[in-house]
Amino acid sequence: MKIAVCVKQVVSREWSLRVAESKTRIRDQDASYELNEPDAYALEAALRLKEQHGGEVVVISAGPSRVSQVIREALARGADRAIHVEGDELVDADAAATAGALAAALANEGCDLVLTGLQSDDSGFAQTGVVLAEKLGLPHATIIMDVQVAGGALRVKRELEGGWFQWIAMPMPAVLTIQSGINQLRYATLKGIMAAKKKDVKKVAAPALERTHEIVNLYFPEKAKATRLVEGAPAEAAKELVRLLREEARAIP
């Protein structure tokens, strides 16, 4: 079974965010980076499926040359080889553009499964995996909590609202977006780090990007406090307070 895992390099959560002069992206020239945590759970799910059923795990990432950091980390954790869709323009690509670049690189791989994290820690759109499935022409399911493969059939557990779950059967090949926390993450060992240096990383140029939206202004939320006094007779003030809590603050139904 061949499993592709899409991983993304994101700014470290410990790094202090600053907005660039363009006001359309963060200033990342001196940032520290890490593997997107939801993608780490997708990688772990792929490695466990390989241990159960055999096969190959291929990691793929789209971005500038610095993305090789997370690719090597994924290889050190146990992936067999990697594909790097390289292009500086992918730094601020939207979900559709990123999915298009990944789909072009995966088109001829013949994967049985393509896994992504549910969403990225930076943009958090949770759309790349869904759009990728459309571009590859494959069925997909989202917010996956468990993956079972038996006899060439796929059975997955989806997380729904209100604490409910849904088991569904799917054909393969398919695209799945994996929920964080579904397994215990493994970390790279010294042996894995040394082995990663010898594993193949195929570099491909990014295709022309299909951008569907543009960020025109990026800023930090403004912190402000305001006190509003409700005056009048007690009965009328109470009535007005309830109205404000319901219609403006939306604190009560």
Cα 249 from Cα 245, distance rounded (Å): 5
For 157-216, the three-class secondary structure string (H helix, E strand, C coil) is EEECHHHCEEEEEECCCEEEEECCCCCCCCCCCHHHHHHHCCCCEEEEECCCCCCCCCCC
Q: 116-139: per-residue pLDDT in tens?
A: 999 988 888 889 999 999 999 999
**Dihedral (CA of 74, 80, 86, 90) sign:** negative
Residue 212 has pLDDT above 90, yes or no: no
Q: In the Cβ-directed half-sphere of 60, how many Cα atoms lie within 13 Å?
A: 30
Cα 209 from Cα 77, distance rounded (Å): 30
Listed residue (107, 100, 93, 96) closest to 64, CA to CA: 93
Q: Which pTM does this prediction carry? A: 0.82
Assigned CATH for 2-205: 3.40.50.620
Domain ranges across the chain: 2-205, 223-253
Q: 148-188: per-residue pLDDT in tens?
A: 998 888 999 999 988 899 999 999 999 999 999 888 999 89
